[in-house]
Amino acid sequence: MSGFLTLPLLWAQAGAPAPPRVPAAAAPVVNIAPQWIPALKWLYLSGDPTFTTNDLFGGFLTWLKAVSLLCLVAWIVSWMVIGIKERVVGQGRWYDYIGVLALILTPVSVLLRVLESVHRIPVYTIQGNRVTGIVALLCVVCYVVWIEVAIGRTIKRLGRPLDLLVLFAIHLALAFGLGAGVVLQRIGFLSLIMPTGPNFQLGWRQGLIYGVRMSATFMGYIVFARIAIRCLAELVGVRGRRLYSIAVLSWHEANRKMWAPWVVLVVFLLVLAFTHWFLQPPRAAEMGRLYVGTLSLLCSVLITVMITILTPLSLPNDIQQQTIYTVVSKPTRRLELIWGRMLGYMALVTVLVFVFGGVSLLYLWRTVMTAIRTTEAQAVKAKQENRLTEYKLLSEQADQLRTRMQARYPVKGSLSFLDSRGTPHAMGIDVGQDQSMREPRSHIEGATSSAAIWSFGVVPDPFSPPGRPPIAIDRRIPVSSFLQPGTIDGALDKVYALQMQIDADKQAKTQPNLPASRMSQLDAGITRNQAELDRLRGEYDALRKKADDLLAQSAKAQQEGKLAEARDLKLAATKLSSPDITVEMSFNVYRTTKGKVGEPVFAEIQAINPRTGREYLGDVFAVKEYYTNRVKLPAWLLAGSNGALRIEIRCMTPTQYLGMAESDLYLLLPPGNFGFNYMKGLFGIWLQAMVLTAIGVCAGTFLSWPVALLTTIFFFVAGELAFAFLVDFSRQAIMGGGPFESLIRLLTHDNQMSDMTPTAGVVLAKTLDSLVMPLMSMIVYLVPNFQALDVTNMVADGFAVSWGLMGVNTLLALAYALPFSLAGYLILKNREVAA
Q: Are 193 and 43 in contact (CB under 8 A)?
A: no
**For another protein, which is the closer residue by CB, 234 or 568?**
234
Member of 14, 27, 84, 121 binding another protein (CB under 8 A): 84
Q: How far apart are CA 189 and CA 206, in angstroms?
A: 12
Task: Pick between residue 250 and residue 529 the one whose CB is nearest to another protein.
Answer: 250
SS3 for 434?
coil
**Contact map string, positions 630 to 659, toward another protein, x by CB under 8 A:** ------------------------------
Task: Write down the H helix ranges in 118-203.
Answer: 131-158, 161-186, 189-193
Q: Is 509 in the site for another protein (CB under 8 A)?
A: no
Output the smallest distance, CB 374 to another protein, in A: 49
Nearer of residues 63 and 702 to another protein, judged by Cβ: 702
3-state secondary structure of 765: helix
Query: Among 109, 332, 406, 653, which residue interacts with another protein (rule: CB under 8 A)?
Result: 332
Residues 674-691: b if buried by 16+ CB within 10 A, e if exposed: bbebbbbbbbbbbbbbbb
State which H helix or E strand residue 90 sits in.
Answer: none
- Supply the minimum distance, in Å, between the C-beta of residue 313 and another protein: 13
Among 25, 126, 775, 835, binds another protein (CB under 8 A): 835
Nearest to 798 by CA among 479, 364, 278, 439: 364
**Which residues inside 224-243 make contact with another protein, applying CB under 8 A?**
237, 239, 241-242
Would you put residue 51 in left (φ > 0), alpha (ψ -120 to 50) or beta? beta
Tell me whether residue 240 or residue 807 sits nearer to another protein (CB atom).
240
- CB-nearer residue toward another protein: 89 or 822: 89
* Residue 702 C-beta: closest distance to another protein, Å: 13
596 binds another protein (CB under 8 A): no
Query: What CA–CA distance (Å, rounded) separates 430 from 528?
Result: 54
Q: How far is CA 181 from the centre of its chain?
A: 31
Task: Tell me which stretch binds another protein (CB under 8 A): 250-258, 531-539, 781-789, 816-824.
Answer: 250-258
CB of 309 to another protein, least distance (A): 17
Q: Are 831 and 82 within 8 A, CB to CB? A: no
State whether the Cα torsion 490-496-498-500 is positive or negative: negative
Query: Least distance to another protein from the beta carbon of 81, Å?
Result: 9
Is 113 or 334 the residue whose CB approaches another protein more closely?
334
The answer to whether the CB of 32 falls within 8 A of the CB of 16 is no
Residues in the chain: 835
Residue 344, CB-side half-sphere exposure with 13 Å CA sphere: 26
SS3 816: helix
Per-position x/- string for 311-330, each x denoting binding to another protein as judged by CB under 8 A, each - no binding: ----------xxxxxxxxxx
Q: Residue 588: phi, psi to the nearest 5?
A: -115, 155
Nearer to another protein by Cβ, of 86 and 625: the residue is 86
Q: Which one, 255 or 757, has the nearer CB to another protein?
A: 255
CB of residue 772 vs another protein: minimum separation in angstroms? 24
Q: How far is the CB of 148 from another protein (least distance, A)?
A: 22
Q: How far apart are CB 351 and another protein at their closest, in Å?
A: 18
Between 440 and 706, whose beta carbon lies closer to another protein?
706
Report in angstroms how near the CB of residue 825 gets to another protein at its nearest: 13
d(C-alpha 135, C-alpha 130), whole Å: 9
Site mask for another protein (CB under 8 A), range 794-823, x = bound: ------------------------------
**CB-wise, 318 or 769, nearer to another protein?**
318
Q: Which stretch binds another protein (CB under 8 A): 33-41, 202-210, 253-261, 617-625?
A: 253-261
Q: Select the residue interacting with another protein from 128, 331, 466, 613 (CB under 8 A).
A: 331
Q: How far is the CB of 139 from another protein (least distance, A)?
A: 26
Cβ proximity to another protein: between 143 and 244 the closer is: 244
The correct pick among 78, 117, 245, 501 for binding another protein (CB under 8 A) is 245
Residues with Cβ within 8 Å of residue 29, at least 6 apart in sequence: 188
List phi, psi (to 5°) of 607: -120, 135
Separation between Cα atoms, residue 434 and residue 587, nearest integer Å: 12
* Cβ pair 816, 12 in contact under 8 A: no
Kindly tell me which of 113 and 333 has the beta carbon lying closer to another protein. 333
CB neighbours of residue 729 within 10 Å? 19
For residue 355, the cross-strand partners are none
- Of 353, 147, 384, 338, which is closest to residue 243 (Cα–Cα)? 338
Binding of another protein at residue 567 (CB under 8 A)?
A: no
**Residue 244 binds to another protein (criterion: CB under 8 A):** yes
Q: How far is the CB of 377 from another protein (least distance, A)?
A: 54
Q: Which of 156, 157, 205, 252 binds another protein (CB under 8 A)?
A: 252
**Cβ pair 677, 683 in contact under 8 A:** no
Q: How far is the CB of 329 from another protein (least distance, A)?
A: 4
Cα–Cα distance, 580 to 430 (Å, whole number): 34
451 phi/psi in degrees, rounded to 5: -150, 155
Q: Considering the complex, what minimum distance in angstroms separates the CB of residue 231 from another protein?
A: 15
> What is the Cα 486 distance to its own chain's centre?
40
- Residues lying near another protein in the complex (CB under 8 A) are found at 84-87, 237, 239, 241-242, 244-245, 248-249, 252-253, 256-257, 321-333, 832-835
